[in-house]
A and B are shown apart, each in its own frame.
Chain A
Amino acid sequence: MLKYLRKRLVMMVFLLLGMTFIVFASLYFAPGDPAEIAAGPSATMEEIELMRQYLGLDRPFIVQYGTYLWNLLHGDFGTSLITRQPILSELLIRLPNTLNLATSAMILACLIGIPLGIVAAIYKDTWIDNTLTTLSLAGISIPNFWLGTVLIIYFCVQLGWFPTGGMSEFFWTKTGFRQAFLPALSLGMQTAAGFTRIGRSSMLDVLQSDYIRTARSKGLRGSKIVWVHALRNALIPIVTQMGTSFGSLLGGSIVTEQVFAVNGIGTYLINAINQRNYNAVQSTVLVIAFMFLLVNLIVDLLYLVIDPRIKYE
């Protein structure tokens, strides 16, 4: 188990290393001049040239990349070209908001998506199943920025039930819940619909299995068969999906944060791209990638809890 964990962590370091290279290279070769942006709009050619030397942008690619890595290793994510603040501290201020949003979206998706999938499987080929399958198809197809806008117009502007935007507290507080509910709903809808579809098909598989037939031949109640014998087995593919979904929630939060005016790393990333704040873009992407890898590791460890057949050596 510990050996497995060590192996996974070492693998993670290499994956992150690969990530840094891809992000660094793609920004290096992208059009636009960071020195020009850092020097400001009124700078002369000489000033820009000085800035280029100051930032080390005149040095060869490999040296720049090496310096970047070296600084990363020392916990230095670089300085924002715009605000002159350390990027790490700027990210750390915004990260909780994004995690708050993604986590509440994930929880909401699980609470909505998984039970509906299971209900659809139990009532297979009835109007309940047909309705849920159609709804889940709609849920997957609706873009989250559109859903977010519609939710704001209806629930915030017309009904006034929720604030139109902003995020200051975690979702488990009262204010935090009101702030997070609609963004989480619009962000988590596609994930929920995905869970419904996967939950349905995996539950159907399980319900047709031999051990469910055995359970029925024992004369167990239908509810016990579903809760004790089927559900845990059906959860295994859903947990796999959770891992990858969390990644897309982090990605999706970039858009949702814009719609709901949440000051998270998504908003930060968009601004950084618009302002050609290269250092900031690099570091933000790296942080998102890191979280994605971390969540997938957690999911793999979660299998141990669910499935006794899985042992990591």
Chain B
Amino acid sequence: MEREKVLDVKNLYAVFKIQKKEYEVLHDISFDVHRNETVCIVGESGCGKSVTTLCVMGLLPKNGRVISGSIEVDGTDLTKLSANEVRKFRGKKMGMIFQEPMTALNPLLTIGYQLRENLMLHRLVDKKTADKMAVEYLTKVGIANPESRLKQYPFQLSGGLRQRVLIAMVLSAQPDLLIADEPTTALDVTIQKQVLSLLNGLKKDMNAGIMFITHDLGVVAEIADKVVVLYAGRKVEEGSAQQVFNDPRHPYTVGLMKAVPNVDKDEFVIEPIPGMFPNITEEIPGCRFNPRCAYTKQCPLCTKEAPEMLEVEPGHFVACHLVKENAQ
């Protein structure tokens, strides 16, 4: 059965203007998220993960803009809408959870106010009903004594609790798409685990699609249905979680996997990827990964031509000359 698509990003290009010059930050990014599916976007800092979420939310900073491509949420192309029309989609159709729970809530407003505001806006209920629903959602995300929490201010809550409040807030609007930008990075490991299982449970409950941004492959292994690997603003590999984890094809993905410490092995070695992540102002001809790739010397095409996406098995795509050569 084909599940309904909640997000469909096609051939997205975005640029950032830095000192009057525009630099490409996203190059031909395509992926989709279905209902009840978690898609993890993986990559190093600066690879374009967060920019992708901001494009979808319509929250790009003033110096950034989408130049081409489409972003369809529930079948509507957001790139064709005015800023005000996109605003009406935000919160309602797509909700976002951010990385920093400590600072993501307004310090001067009560938890109750911040939840109520969202409910009154998106569920069109009055104040009293909103308060009742706020209690329900706080209970749903596993917060004890929800009534008393409503009167509290963010500074009275711990980081884990604040992240739960933020999740409750996003869910209370019943969005079809949940975007989570490294929601567990700032939390310690036990709380991280709790928040992940909470999200997993809620996904089934709400029948929403989740777009999950992270650089933590451990987290990916735990929650992902599908994985999209980005490198320097380009998609390098995409596939189901099993495909990418069991059979990573792109040298960059392979490198990422090797860089994760494995406590099961006898020798406890981390193999880092050599070199540095390129700055967006740097121009790299050919495959963007070629300066750091071990196979560049064997393959003259890598420094000349950007590789195309190749479907190596059903649903598993890789953009690498080497993989293409081996396949032929």
By a beta-carbon cutoff of 8 Å, the part of chain A in contact with chain B is 209-211, 213-221, 228-229, 232-233, 306-309
* Residues of chain A contacted by B232 (CB below 8 angstroms): none
Would you call B96 an interface residue if the criterion is a C-beta within 8 Å of the partner chain's C-beta atoms?
A: yes
Q: Are B91 and A219 in contact (CB under 8 A)?
A: yes
| A308-B108 contact in complex given A210-B103, A218-B118, A220-B121, C-beta closer than 8 Å | yes
Closest CB in chain B relative to A32 CB, distance in Å: 54
A224 nearest CB across to chain B (Å): 8
A216 touching B59, Cβ below 8 Å: yes
Query: Which residues of B from 53 to 94 have beta carbons under 8 Å from A?
Result: 57, 59, 87-92
Interfacial chain A residues near B96, Cβ < 8 Å: 217
Please name 14 pairs of A and B residues whose Cβ atoms are closer than 8 Å in the assembled complex, sorted by A: A213-B59, A213-B104, A214-B106, A217-B96, A218-B90, A218-B91, A218-B95, A218-B169, A219-B89, A219-B122, A232-B108, A233-B106, A308-B153, A309-B107
A interface majority secondary structure: helix
Residues of B that sit less than 8 Å from A by CB: 57, 59, 87-92, 95-96, 98, 100, 103-109, 117-118, 121-122, 153, 155, 166, 169, 173
Which B residue's beta carbon lies closest to that of A218? B91
* Inter-subunit contact B108/A215 (CB<8 Å): no
CB distance from A95 to the nearest CB of B (A): 36
Partner of A217, one of B91, B105, B117: B91
Residues of chain B within 8 A (CB-CB) of A306 are 108
Most B-side CB within 10 Å, residue of A213, A217, A228, A233: A217
Cβ-closest chain A residue relative to B108: A232
Minimal beta-carbon separation of A48 from chain B (angstroms): 64
Identify which of B89, B92, B109 contacts A228 (C-beta below 8 A). Answer: B109
On chain A, the residues within 8 Å of B89 by CB distance are: 219
CB <8 Å contact, A213 and B90: no
For A236, the closest partner residue in chain B by CB is: B108
Decide yes or no: A219 and B88 within 8 Å by CB, A210-B103, A233-B107, A309-B107 being known contacts.
yes
5 A-B pairs with the lowest CB-CB distances in the bound complex, closest first? A219-B91, A219-B90, A210-B103, A218-B91, A211-B106
Q: A215-B106, A218-B169 are in contact. List 5 more A-B contacts (CB 8 A).
A: A213-B59, A214-B106, A217-B96, A218-B117, A308-B107
Q: How far is the CA of A215 from the CA of B155 in the complex (A)?
A: 17
Report if A221-B87 is in contact (Cβ < 8 Å); known contacts: A306-B108, A308-B108: yes
> With A210-B100, A214-B98, A308-B153 in contact, do A219 and B92 touch (Cβ < 8 Å)?
yes
Q: How far is the CB of B229 from chain A (nearest CB, A)?
A: 25
CB distance from A124 to the nearest CB of B (A): 9
| B92 and chain A: residue at smallest CB distance | A219
Residues in A with CB closer than 8 Å to B107 are 211, 233, 307-309
A217 B59 Cβ-Cβ under 8 A: yes
Q: Which of A210, A218, A220 has the most CB of B within 10 A?
A: A218
A218 partner residues in chain B, CB cutoff 8 A:
90-91, 95, 117-118, 121, 169, 173
Contacts of B87 in A (CB 8 A): 219, 221
**Number of contacts between A and B (CB, 8 Å)?**
66
A211 to B102, CA, bound (A): 9
- The answer for the CA separation of A229 and B107 in the assembled complex, in Å, is 9
Question: A217 vs B104: C-alpha distance in the bound complex, in angstroms?
Answer: 11
Cβ-defined partner of B108 (8 Å) among A219, A221, A233: A233
| Chain B min CB distance to A303 (Å) | 11
- Across the interface, which residues of B come within 8 angstroms of A308, CB to CB? 107-108, 153, 155
Q: Are B121 and A211 in contact (CB under 8 A)?
A: no
With CB as the reference atom, state the residue of chain B lying closest to A221: B87
- Per the bound structure, the CA–CA distance linking A28 and B166 in Å amounts to 65
B165 → A minimal CB distance (Å): 11
Residues of A within 8 A of B106 (CB): 211, 214-215, 229, 233
**Complex: chain B residue closest to A214, CB-CB:** B104
> In the complex, which of the residues B59, B92, B104, B121 has the most CB atoms of chain A within 10 Å of its own CB atom?
B104
A245 to B122, CA, bound (A): 43
Shortest Cβ gap from A12 to chain B (Å): 29
User: Which of B57, B103, B107, B155 is most buried by chain A, counting CB atoms within 10 A of its CB?
Assistant: B107
Separation of A307 and B108 alpha carbons in the complex (Å): 6
- Cα–Cα, bound, A213→B59 (Å): 8
Cβ-defined contact, B90 with A217, below 8 A: yes
B98 touches A216 (CB 8 A): no
Complex Cα–Cα for A228 and B103 (A): 17
User: Which residue on B lies nearest to A210, using beta carbons?
Assistant: B103
A211 to B122 CA separation, bound complex (whole angstroms) = 19
Which residues of chain A are near B88, meaning CB under 8 Å? 219
Min CB distance A281 to B, Å, is 44
Cβ-closest chain A residue relative to B87: A219
Q: Please state if B109 and A229 are interface contacts (CB–CB under 8 Å).
A: yes
Which residues of chain A come closer than 8 Å to B109, judged between CB atoms? 228-229
Q: Are B59 and A220 within 8 A (Cβ)?
A: no
User: In the complex, A217→B179 CA distance in Å?
Assistant: 10
Q: B104 is contacted by which of A210, A219, A307 (Cβ under 8 Å)?
A: A210
Q: How far is the CA of A216 from the CA of B173 in the complex (A)?
A: 14
Contact A217 B103 (CB under 8 A): no
Which residue among B92, B105, B107, B108 has the maximum number of chain A CB atoms within 10 Å of its CB? B108
CB-CB under 8 A from A215, the residues of chain B are 106
Cα distance A229–B96 in the bound complex, in angstroms: 18
Chain A nearest Cβ from B287, distance in angstroms = 34
A141–B117 CA distance with the chains assembled, in angstroms: 43
- Bound complex: CA A209 to CA B121 (Å): 22
